[in-house]
Amino acid sequence: MRFVARRLLSVRRSFPRNLSMPSNEGIASTLHSSPFKVLVLGGSYAGLGAALNLLDLCEGRSPRFASQPADTSKFSKIPVKITLVDEKDGYFHLISSPLALASGEYAPKAWTNFRDIPALKDIHFIQGSVKNVDCDKKQAVVTESETGSSLGLEYDFLVAATGLRRVWPVVPQAKSRQAYLSEAAEHIEAVRKARDGVVVIGGGAVGIEMAAEIKLVMPDQKVTLIHSREKLCSSEPLPDDFKERCLITLHEAGVETIMGQRVLSTKSFPSDDGQPIWDLVLSDQSRIRAGHVIHAVSRSIPSTTYLHQSALDEEGYVQVTARLNVMPEVPNSLHHFAVGDIAKWSGIKRCGAAMHMGQYAAQNIHQLMLAQHQGINPEFMELKEIPPMIGIAIGKQAVAYYPSDGTTYGESVLKTCFGDDLGNSICWNYMQLGKECPS
């Protein structure tokens, strides 16, 4: 399964080391009088990365994700109006979902309303869902959440970053912070009251981390992970020593495992005090009893139904060029970008790659703006193939794989990849969300 959830090596190591601004030779000083309209669909890592880096560039600043400060003295400010659309009312740190759904103390820290993020003060936000994008007319239809009314939005450039649909409890389903906190509290209480222990079904990154975080937060709770294959992370193109180390580290965290067994059925019935008891039948016909069952196996579906079929592959992913434009068959393809999990590209879906794509899209849009109104020859950034890499937090340790380093693990790896809050501060600070952009 292709989950983003907490597949984070250190953000600093997630990106190729050759990031640099394109050359800006020959840029004229004349600015167009009307602002460019940029529509960003999706307010997670990729969408925020695209919006904030583009805002930096249009304001004449070095883009915040650049590995080295860029020389911005050769181009002037460009007037721009960036509109961000998201179904949720805030930024949710998706990587921390397993902990947010296990710890009542941590849960509030994972969700920040967009209106409370200083870096977004100059970006217009609409809470709603995208119904249709007409690439030919450069128009989008958005259904506003609060009123249910349809809004027609015109744009000059569009960045699609709507991510994947994932089922509960892989990620929260709530659209508001208040509803999310209620959803998380109910789940945490159900896990806490599970007198016959908790069973997590699925041994991918999400299942491993959910099992480990529950055991870390509730050390007295029995936690069992069941996986249908003999090795964890069996669907990912990762070396066997990584998968074996994940299993060892999971055991060291106190999680019990049942490997090579498929769960055929799950049935619940109330106990004498009304609390549910679950009966699970495995493929060898053995039975397991649990007080709570978490399904961490699902097929993530790209959220791309608003785009024309010509932009998508057979699974619904957006086919993109190395510049992150949609394919030339789509009308106005140079003005439409797709980034993050919905983009058809190599590598494991994770937040580091999503932010990286957001930066590239921003810089390429900026080059197109400069070319259109200042007569320069645009110099685009092209995304290279991304090899498999991953980091998984497992209790007080992490296990990571990076091509040049191989498999690494331990408490120091957890600190490097996730800090002390499952990457929340790393991502927040990298995107500079707490820093108000100068006007």
Question: Bridge partners of 90?
Answer: 113
Average pLDDT on 29-45 reads 81
Residue % of the chain over a pLDDT of 90: 83
For residue 58, being part of any structural domain is answered with yes
- Report pLDDT for 29: 37
Strand pairing of 276-282 and 287-290?
antiparallel
329 and 223 assigned to the same domain = no
45 and 193 assigned to the same domain = no
177-186, 296-305, 382-391, 394-403: the lowest-pLDDT one: 296-305
Residue % of the chain over a pLDDT of 70: 92
For residue 10, being part of any structural domain is answered with no
pLDDT surpasses 60 at 32: no
237 and 316 assigned to the same domain = no
307 and 294 assigned to the same domain = no
What pLDDT, in 10s, does the model give residues 170-207?
Answer: 899 999 999 999 999 999 999 999 999 999 999 999 99
248 and 370 assigned to the same domain = no
Q: For residue 403, is the peptide bond before it cis, meaning its omega torsion is within 30 degrees of 0?
A: no
- Report pLDDT for 22: 38
pLDDT confidence band for 3 (50 / 70 / 90): very low
* Measured distance CA(199)–CA(91) in Å, rounded: 29
Range of the domain at 162: 36-166+300-386+421-431
- Report pLDDT for 34: 84
* Measured distance CA(423)–CA(421) in Å, rounded: 6
Of 304, 276, 273, 307, nearest in space to 289 by CA: 276
- Report pLDDT for 211: 98
pLDDT surpasses 60 at 2: no
Q: Phi/psi of residue 279, each to 5°?
A: -115, 120
- The number of domains in the chain is 2
230 and 122 assigned to the same domain = no
232 and 309 assigned to the same domain = no
CB neighbours (10 Å) of residue 375? 11
Average pLDDT on 134-160 reads 97
For residue 256, being part of any structural domain is answered with yes
pLDDT confidence band for 31 (50 / 70 / 90): very low
pLDDT surpasses 80 at 12: no
pLDDT confidence band for 161 (50 / 70 / 90): very high
For residue 187, being part of any structural domain is answered with yes
* Measured distance CA(285)–CA(93) in Å, rounded: 39
For residue 409, being part of any structural domain is answered with no
Average pLDDT on 56-71 reads 90
For residue 1, being part of any structural domain is answered with no
CA-based Rg of the chain, rounded to a whole angstrom? 23
- Report pLDDT for 439: 61
* Measured distance CA(162)–CA(305) in Å, rounded: 10
- Report pLDDT for 23: 37
286 and 356 assigned to the same domain = no
Domain boundary among 298, 333, 364: 298
The segment with the largest mean pLDDT, out of 66-75, 295-304, 401-410, is 401-410
* Measured distance CA(415)–CA(400) in Å, rounded: 12
Average pLDDT on 369-389 reads 91
Question: In the numeric block, which tokens belong to residue 213?
Answer: 């975080």
- Report pLDDT for 33: 56
Average pLDDT on 369-376 reads 86
What pLDDT, in 10s, does the model give residues 252-263?
Answer: 999 999 999 999
Domain boundary among 258, 281, 298: 298
44 and 161 assigned to the same domain = yes
pLDDT surpasses 50 at 20: no
CA angle 284, 288, 290 (to 5 degrees): 155
Per-position DSSP letters for 6-51, written without gaps between them: T----HHHHS-TT--PPP-TT--S---SSPEEEEEE--SHHHHHHH
pLDDT surpasses 90 at 400: yes
CB neighbours (10 Å) of residue 216? 20
Domain boundary among 298, 329, 360: 298
- The CATH number of the domain where 65 resides is what? 3.50.50.60
139 and 187 assigned to the same domain = no
What pLDDT, in 10s, does the model give residues 318-337?
Answer: 999 999 999 999 999 999 99
Average pLDDT on 280-303 reads 94
Q: What average pLDDT does the chain have? A: 91
Average pLDDT on 360-376 reads 92
In one letter, which amino acid is 112? T
For residue 27, being part of any structural domain is answered with no
289 and 304 assigned to the same domain = no
pLDDT surpasses 60 at 375: yes
Question: In the numeric block, which tokens belong to residue 356?
Answer: 């990286």
For residue 208, being part of any structural domain is answered with yes
pTM: 0.91
- From residue 111, alpha-carbon distances to 88, 122, 181 in Å are 10, 20, 9
155 and 45 assigned to the same domain = yes
